[in-house]
Amino acid sequence: MKIQDLVQETNTALFANKSRTFLTVLGIVIGIASVIIMLAIGKGAQNEIQSSINSLGSNLLTVIPGTSRGGPSGTGTGGKPLTIADANAIRDKILLVDEVSPELTTRSQVVAGAQNINTTITGIVPEYQKIKSIDMEIGIFITEGQNRNFSKVAVLGPTVRDSLFGIDSNPVGQKVRINANTYTVIGVTKSKGGSGFSNPDDMIIIPLSTAAQYLSGGDSLSSISVTTVETEDLKQVEKEIEELLLERHAIRNRDPELADFSTFNMADLSEAAASVTGIFSLLLGSVAGISLLVGGIGIMNMMLTTVRERTREIGLRKAIGARSKDISNQFLLESVLITCIGGIFGIILGVGVAQLITLSGILTTSVSLFSIILALGVSAIIGIGFGYYPARRAAKLNPIEALRYE
Amino acid sequence: MNMISLKNIKKDYSSGDLTTKVLHGISFDIQEGEFVAIMGPSGSGKSTLMNILGLLDTPTEGDYILDGKNVSSLSDDEQARIRAQKIGFVFQSFNLLPRTSVLRNVMMPFIYNKSEHLSTKEREERAKKALSAAGFPENRWHNLSSHLSGGQIQRVAIARALVNNPVLILADEPTGNLDSKTSDIVLKTFQELNRKEGRTIILITHEHDVAAYADRCIIIKDGVISEN
């Protein structure tokens, strides 16, 4: 049987019952499209989560006082606090470190004129701007000189500015009162949007020295942020910081189990998030896979009906010289053709819907080449898999009985 | 020259322990260019004989020599190949493809005949020649098979049987579903094919009137030849 004969016979058969063929193709279209859409949503969500983690800094490592290993937690439970000296030691002694930013965070009442809010006050050093990738909307960031001089200057987050001075106003040069001291506003940061743990927009930034002097009255820190030049160095740096601080804090036997501080890095967080989103994608994909399976069963159903309806025709074809292989090839090609047509339209529909979701602004979906190849491969396999049994059944028909079939 | 030579053909069907003997040793020869009717009442075994002659079934015992070749024990695929090249079937129930043009119905056997590689144009030429030989009116060549009368349908089926130039045409009750007038036309068509083109035709029937069109009659009763 020549290829073009086979294709022509198959076309004729498929067009003979257009509505049934159409509905069966539709089943596959929906199955393939939903696989592509679900994978695109999964991938999009994964990208979104990763990028918001990366916006926190992918090579960022944070040291906080207290332990997260089940022992006594918090700063005041016996362990030594993290100090500016610790931060300096990290900067000076560990080679792979890029920037070190000691931070001191408290909450306080803030007054400007008649406005009065409660917000986060963070004492920082100028490196903070680079580590947290802060851009200025108006004015300037805290300088090294201001930090050295215990200057009472403040950089406002946009939310704080909006509450105290009015939306989109320029407060540079205005005064705010924090804890009985008056600070001069020197700048407003650009909005970053809430990203996970804290809202960088709802915050007032002042020099670390000033915060230590007037707000906390000591040099214990809330946290030390450390960046490395290369993301790959993160684990090594984390280990070295741990060893350094265990020594500086005179922990018995330098046993990490007894540490009075904890470290965590963005790489671990990002890995954890990746595994969560991976499971999420798998879940979505398998739901879509079920609809594809149902589509495949639809094909099998159609093919079995076709074989029954065309029993006499099969008998005739065998009588005039068709071999079993010719018959099974013809039916197999029919089901493969249905799935391939369904696969192509499914890809078009899936990509289209994924684009619509992106355009609607709910989520930036991402259709991967992998999911398209997967969808095409799966549809071909479904065509062969679900077409095989009906095709075998057709091929095995005894021509004598098939010709007599009513 | 013997086109067909059957030697002591036996056929048993067994289901479980029960064995039914249908043919008890049938022998006859058919010459090239003969028009033979095989007659018998229903249950006589003539359908089984026709299936064996048409290579749709294999005999349990005995030899079947077709066109100089012993074909009594071939594999399914080899049988299919010989059916495609040497035998043309005409069935009682026509068995045309519905929703398909007359021409394409007639061209269908080319799909399965591996020995000839014809272009679509050559195939069409051959199909048109076969349709003319079967006396099918030219103005309906492109009609759908479902829009034809019974006599026309059977002529299409005859043309389909002719198109591969088979050495043998097997017609199984070709007029069973036709009225007497159209039967006459169809049977005359067979006669003409036999006389003008020298085709070897075997006609299987249970009616004497139909068998009368043939030159020779083989009568089967209870699995044996009762008259030749």
| Confidence grade of residue A195 (pLDDT, cut at 50, 70, 90) | low
Q: Which residue of chain A is at minimal alpha-carbon distance from B76?
A: A323
How many other C-beta atoms are found inside a 10 Å radius of the C-beta of residue B130? Answer: 23
Interface test with A, best of B108, B116, B121, B204 (most A CBs within 10 A): B108
A2, A313, A320: best to mutate for the B interface, most B CBs within 10 A: A320
- Asked whether the predicted pLDDT for residue B221 surpasses 80, the reply is yes
Q: What's the rounded mean pLDDT across residues A355-381?
A: 87
- Please tell me whether residue A137 adopts helix, strand or coil conformation: strand
Domains and CATH numbers, chain B: 2-227 (3.40.50.300)
Question: Considering CB atoms only, which of A16, A312, A400 is closest to B95?
Answer: A312
Residue B158 pLDDT more than 50? yes
In chain A, helix, strand, coil percent, each to 5? 60, 15, 25
Q: At residue A70, does pLDDT exceed 70?
A: no
Helix (H) or strand (E) holding A198: none
Whether residues A114 and A219 share a domain: the answer is yes
Nearest C-alpha neighbor of A183 from the set A193, A196, A168, A173: A173
Q: Is A288 within the bounds of a domain?
A: yes
Query: Is residue A205 in some structural domain?
Result: yes
Residue in chain A lying closest to B118 (CA): A2
> CA A10 to CA A275: how far, in whole Å?
46
ipTM: 0.90
> Maximum CA pair distance of chain B?
57
A383 and A284 inside one domain = yes
Domain membership flag for residue A320: yes
As for how many domains chain A has, the answer is 2
Residue B38 pLDDT grade (very low, low, confident, very high; cuts 50, 70, 90): very high
B177 touches A: beta carbon within 8 Å: no
Is-contact A232 A187, C-beta < 8 A? no
User: Is residue A251 included in any domain, yes or no?
Assistant: no
User: Which of A3-7, A350-354, B33-37, B212-216 comes out lowest in average pLDDT?
Assistant: A3-7
* A302 and A379 housed in the same domain: yes
- Ranking A169-183, A189-203, B172-186 by mean pLDDT, the lowest is A189-203
Show which of A226, A261, A286 is a domain's final residue.
A226
Residue pair B226/B218 in contact (Cβ under 8 Å)? The answer is no
Residue A329, number of CB atoms within 10 A of its CB: 19
Q: How far off is chain A from B100, nearest CA to CA, in Å?
A: 8
- Residue A76 in this model has a pLDDT that exceeds 60: no
Residue range A108-115: mean pLDDT, rounded: 90
User: Which pLDDT value is given to residue A165?
Assistant: 92
Token digits for A106? 């408290």
**A187 has which bridge partners?**
A139, A155
CA-to-CA distance for B6 and B65, rounded, in angstroms? Answer: 6
The answer to whether residue B99 neighbours chain A at the CB level (below 8 Å) is yes
Q: Which two tokens stand for residue B7?
A: 């030697």
Query: Of A27-31, A173-177, A192-196, A250-254, which gets the smallest average pLDDT?
Result: A192-196
Q: Compute how many other C-beta atoms are within 10 angstroms of the C-beta atom of residue A303.
A: 25
Of A29-33, A207-211, A268-272, give the lowest mean pLDDT range: A268-272
pLDDT of res. A79: 75
Average pLDDT, chain B: 89
The pLDDT mean for chain A works out to: 87
Same domain as A194, residue A138: yes
User: What mean pLDDT do residues A142-163 have?
Assistant: 93
Looking at beta carbons, which residues of chain A come within 8 Å of B77? 323-325
Q: Are residues A366 and A295 in the same domain?
A: yes
β-partners of residue A110 are: A117, A178
H helix and E strand count, chain A: 13, 10
Residues 6+ apart with CB under 8 A from B219: B38, B39, B40, B225, B226, B227, B228
Structure token digits, residue B51: 């299936």
Query: How far is the C-alpha of A206 from the C-alpha of A110, rounded, in Å?
Result: 13
Whether B79 contacts chain A with CB within 8 A: no
CA A272/CA A48 separation, integer angstroms:
14
Q: Is residue A286 part of a domain?
A: yes
Residues A114 and A222 placed together within one structural domain of the fold: yes
Each residue of A308-357: pLDDT tens digit? Answer: 988 988 999 999 989 999 999 999 998 988 888 999 999 999 999 999 99
Which of A4-13, A24-33, A177-186, B216-225 has the least mean pLDDT?
Answer: A4-13
Beta partners for B97?
Answer: none
Per-residue confidence (pLDDT) for residue A103, from 0 to 100: 93
Q: Which parts of B25-179 fold into alpha helices (H)?
A: 46-53, 76-86, 102-112, 120-133, 150-162
- Residue A368 counted as domain residue: yes
Instruction: Please check whether residue B217 touches A, CB under 8 A.
Output: no
Contact yes or no for B134/B88 (Cβ under 8 A): no
User: Nearest 10 degrees: CA dihedral of A288, A294, A295, A297?
Assistant: 150
pLDDT at A161: 92
CB contact under 8 A, B77 and A323: yes
Q: Does A92 map to a domain? A: no
Tell me the shortest Cα–Cα distance from B56 to chain A, in angstroms: 7
pLDDT at A278 over 80: yes
The residue of chain B nearest to residue A16, with distances taken between CA atoms, is B99
Q: How far, CA to CA in Å, does B6 sit from each of A314, B2, B13, B31, B56?
A: 28, 10, 19, 12, 15
B97–A313 C-beta distance less than 8 A: yes
Question: Is B74's Cβ below 8 Å from some Cβ in A?
Answer: no
Give which of A10, A8, A11, A404 is closest to B95, Cα–Cα: A404
- DSSP class of residue A233 equals G
Residues from A contacting B (CB-CB < 8 Å) are 1-2, 5, 9, 12, 16, 312-313, 315-326, 399-400, 403
Q: Is the model's pLDDT at A205 over the cut of 60?
A: yes
**Residues composing chain A:** 406
Chain A residues within 8 A of B95 when measuring between CB atoms? 312-313, 315-316, 403
How many CA atoms are closer than 13 Å to the CA of B23, on its beta-carbon side?
A: 28
The average pLDDT across A287-316 equals 89
The confidence band for A233, taking pLDDT boundaries of 50, 70 and 90, is: confident
Beta-carbon neighbour count of residue A203 at 10 Å? 19
- Any idea how long chain B is? 228
Greatest extent of chain A over all pairs of C-alpha atoms, in Å: 105
Closest among B165, B87, B174, B98 to B130, alpha carbons compared: B165
Task: Please check whether residues A37 and A139 belong to one and the same domain.
Answer: no
- How far apart CA A1 and CA A76 sit, in angstroms, is 86
Residue with tokens 């079937």: B89
Q: Which strands, in side-by-side order, build the sheet including B2-15?
A: B18-31, B2-15, B61-66, B69-70
User: Which residues, 6+ apart, have CB-to-CB distance to B93 below 8 Å?
Assistant: A312, A403, B177
Which H/E stretch holds residue B225? Answer: strand B224-227
What pLDDT band is residue A251 in, cutting at 50, 70 and 90?
confident
pTM (2 d.p.): 0.70
Report the C-alpha gap between B33 and B149 in whole angstroms: 30
In this predicted model, what pLDDT tens digit does every residue of B160-211 receive, in sequence order? 998 988 989 999 988 888 888 888 988 998 999 999 888 999 999 988 888 9
**Residue after which a domain boundary falls, among A226, A254, A285:** A226
Given A226, A255, A282, the domain boundary residue is A226
Domain check: are A283 and A173 in the same one?
A: no
pLDDT above 60 (res A75): no
Q: What is the mean pLDDT of residues A188-202?
A: 75
Closest CA to A339 of A37, A35, A27: A27
The answer to whether A296 and A386 are in contact (CB under 8 A) is: yes
Verify whether the Cβ–Cβ distance B91 to A322 is below 8 Å: no
Residue A168 DSSP label: T
How far is Cα A15 from Cα A12, in angstroms, rounded to an integer? 5
Is B165 in the A-facing interface, judged by CB distances under 8 Å? Answer: no
Question: Do residues A45 and A122 both lie within one domain?
Answer: no
Asked if residue A394 and residue A283 are part of one domain, the reply reads: yes
Domain contains A237: no
Distance from CA of A27 to the nearest CA of B (A): 26
In terms of domains, do A392 and A288 share one? Answer: yes
Share of chain B above pLDDT 90, in %: 40
Q: Tell me the chain A residues in contact with residue B80 when contact means C-beta distances shorter than 8 Å.
A: 318, 321-324
**Partner A contacted by B83 (CB < 8 A):** yes
Residue A196: domain span: 100-226
Residue A298 has pLDDT above 80, yes or no: yes
DSSP-assigned letters across all residues of A372-387 = HHHHHHHHHHHHHHHH
Which chain B positions have a beta carbon within 8 Å of A323's beta carbon? 76-77, 80-81, 112
**Chain A residue with minimal CA distance to B98?**
A16
DSSP-derived secondary structure for A175-193:
EEEETTEEEEEEEEEPP--
Cβ atoms of residues A119 and A160 within 8 Å: yes
A312 vs B contacts (CB less than 8 Å): 93, 95
Query: Would you call B3 exposed, middle or buried from its count of C-beta atoms within 10 A (0-12, 13-18, 19+)?
Result: buried
**What pLDDT is recorded for position A328?**
93
- Give the nearest chain A residue to B106 (CA atoms): A320
Would you call A403 and B95 a contact, using CB atoms and an 8 Å cutoff? yes
